[in-house]
Structure 1
């Protein structure tokens, strides 16, 4: 018998399955999926308000006449940075909670430290209440950065998962911009009141949203999973076929992890990719660019640095929204590569800017351009960098993290990725001045440029394209099983 005669029925079966699944997706109505996504992304919106809150609040708190509340430069630094401590703890804690009580309840749970944290800030009478409030909102931010991408990826089907998942980062930068804009008109207490509204609304709306089908099936709650799918896909789409696909991918996985599972390529490959992507996201130099943003605008003769920060945040919102629209069309890898190229060029130009700004090229590590006509170079490179970051390396690592882990490993794997992100952000921020002392400002940004170039190579050779693939097909990729 001809070998091709054997393979044709198998290929035909695979093609029939794909056609059947495509026909199923054609019947899907996404209205309630969008509603559930909206309820969940109020968490990242709250996260953005937390990140953006310190920028307008610190100037107010430094001018306040009450000595119990007034912040000196060192205290202001702690007020801005203790969020990362809470976020690292929250990300680690969320990996355990999300597998114990489920995705929906974890989203609801993270609303509480947001509300309590901002309430403590509103009622603050001393520095320690301010710090406690910031730590609690940081804890909530760490939980949010893990559970919301996971919740959305397990609810959404492959035709819209990229767009839905990209809304996480879109809402983060929208929240940052909201805090900056609010800071133009509101004092620090009223800004905290405003910042507590999104998590309160999220808590209410999530009461009416379903748990994810993947989690319910992993718990053996098939009837509830079918009800969740009926809610998310609409009455015209029967959930049986999707339930069967999810259960097929879960066969042989078990419900718990052991050390032996680390030898399974379905776990260790995505874990390696996710951790390196989170590390590279911070090594792009995003915090360094944002650190210099205010001084760059001042050198460009912007009179109001607070308005300048709103402009920067607006650029991030616009291009993160564009990334969300392109994610399911262009694909993850294309956007990551384009993003890496833009950031490689812009950080290299930043290095040139700092080098030319020193008339003696003496290697001084403190940026202080003495040639006003060079301001356009800094503004152009900053605009290109923020655009590039927002298009790819801002939203995509969080989306890919939520897609690549098997069901039984999503809590642990996502937790380690989030911990890597926050820890590397802390390390890069704390060592930034030391790098400038050793390498000079120009050398530091050239180092970031080289690391962005490495990002491109890593994306080309190691990051899988997940556009248009179901979560089950992505797991099959790491198993080495071919899917048509």
Structure 2
């Protein structure tokens, strides 16, 4: 286990800065326990089936609408200020939900919360990757997903048993704590340097590296990276023009597709029906709590291992085991749909779903957001991470559509076979294309991405990464590499 010494403030900054992710997790899963309450005869606000569809989709629409703002805000106002803006937006959303006199207020609140959720996929990962020591960057970066899972677990555990205003107050309480602590945390040294305030960047590094007596080397690297960024004209075309950013786009796009085409959104939205097929003795509410708790425990376990075992090992192993879990579901439903009796095996869907919760969150559900924060070069990081956020939303919607279409045309087992195969393809992609970023600085990662996809060349680069002359030479080559 990595030592806390010298990294205590990093831990506090990340913990306080990601409390908004708890709120986002609660917003993300809010419809699952709340819609049944709103559909009751004694509901405080009556809703129709059309309202249900909009309550679920308007959150994603808000997320798409917020992408241009997040790109502008992280560079204009800073990572820290952007996170605080998102926190305030979440608070407004919870207040509107708590005192909503009609369903239209829910629409607006869900849109605002989706808009603010971009903080968890762009500003917060960027902030963490830029303040964290390279030895614990993976652990700290994974905290965003952990916080979101905590939020999902909380809303599943609280919302079915209390009033809507009270569950909203629970979500708002985490944000109030964040407003009391996070404003006192250091801003990213990268942002300070980008604004020409080198002294502020030095002070920020000194606070974040409290036991380090010499931060000049790291500050010099930051100055080099940011200077190169400022010399480059930032355009969306740079995401595909530069070799390193082009690789980053391909990796994060594939990983986002893999997340949702492993059946993540589909299983979350159809968990109750799967458990009913298993003849589970648990109520839907209790089953959802167990499922979300398993995801949280698995993600916590993975976050500890991510800086020890590495990103590639966890991602590859998770993809394979998740694929087997999905195929077990596919085989079960194929046998059932063929007319054969499956009474003796009606435990398979529940067991597969719970295994899925563990295996998915041990890698596929955690590592992509860490890699997204690490892989993009500084010059296009905001645009790259916003693009990744957009791909996350789009791939989620597409995977759900594919599931519904294939299920209606050929049966529920067909999309599960597709999802299982996609998991194995994700494992193959990880082995062949994704570089290991464990223990490397952001500058060193860009050198790896800018190298040709040859294992011997990559190994040679890794062996020379600690040579300052070699690093400076490759940084210069990266500046002119546009092919």
Same fold (TM over 0.5): yes
- 2:183 alignment partner, one of 207, 216, 220: 207
| CA–CA separation in structure 2 for the residues paired with 1:28 and 1:252 | 33
- My pick for the range that moved more, 299-308 or 177-186, is 299-308
8 A contact 1:41–1:148 mirrored in 2:
yes
The 5 Å alignment of 1:402-413 reads 402-413=373-384
Determine if the alignment matches structure 1 residue 77 to structure 2 residue 53: yes
Superposition TM-score, scaled by structure 1 size: 0.89
**Equivalences for residues 21-36 of structure 1 within 5 A:** 29-36=6-13
Matched, 1:56 2:27: no
Aligned partners of 2:75 and 2:344: how far apart in 1?
56
Aligned partners of 1:259 and 1:414: how far apart in 2? 12
- Deviation string, structure 1 residues 268-308 (Cα, Å, up to 9, x no partner): 22122122211221111112222332123233332411111
Superposed, 1:43-442 pairs within 5 Å as 43-63=20-40, 65=42, 69-234=45-210, 236-254=212-230, 256-258=233-235, 261=238, 262-298=240-276, 299-360=278-339, 371-442=342-413
Per-residue Cα deviation, 1:110-161 (whole angstroms, up to 9, x for no partner): 0121011111111111111111111111111123222111111111011100
Q: How far is the alpha carbon of 1:28 from its aligned partner?
A: 6.3
Match of 1:466 in 2: 437
Partner Cα distance (2:98, 2:4) in 1: 48
- TM-score, length-normalised on structure 2? 0.89
Tell me, which stretches of 5 or more residues in structure 1 are unaligned? 1-24, 362-369
Deviation at 1:376, TM superposition (A): 1.6
The 2-side partners of 1:249 and 1:463 are apart by 22
Q: 2:421 aligns with which of 450, 453, 467?
A: 450
Contact 1:155–1:232 (Cα < 8 Å) also in 2:
yes
Q: Is the 8 A contact 2:435 2:449 kept in 1?
A: no
* Deviation per residue, 1:223-278 (Å, 9 max, x gap): 01011111111154332221012223344332641366342213222122122211
SS of the equivalent of 2:186 reads coil
Work out the CA distance in 1 between the residues paired with 2:47 and 2:282.
24
Distance 1:143 1:151 in 2: 10
Structure 1 vs Structure 2 CA RMSD: 2.0
Cα distance in structure 1, aligned partners of 2:4 and 2:402: 53
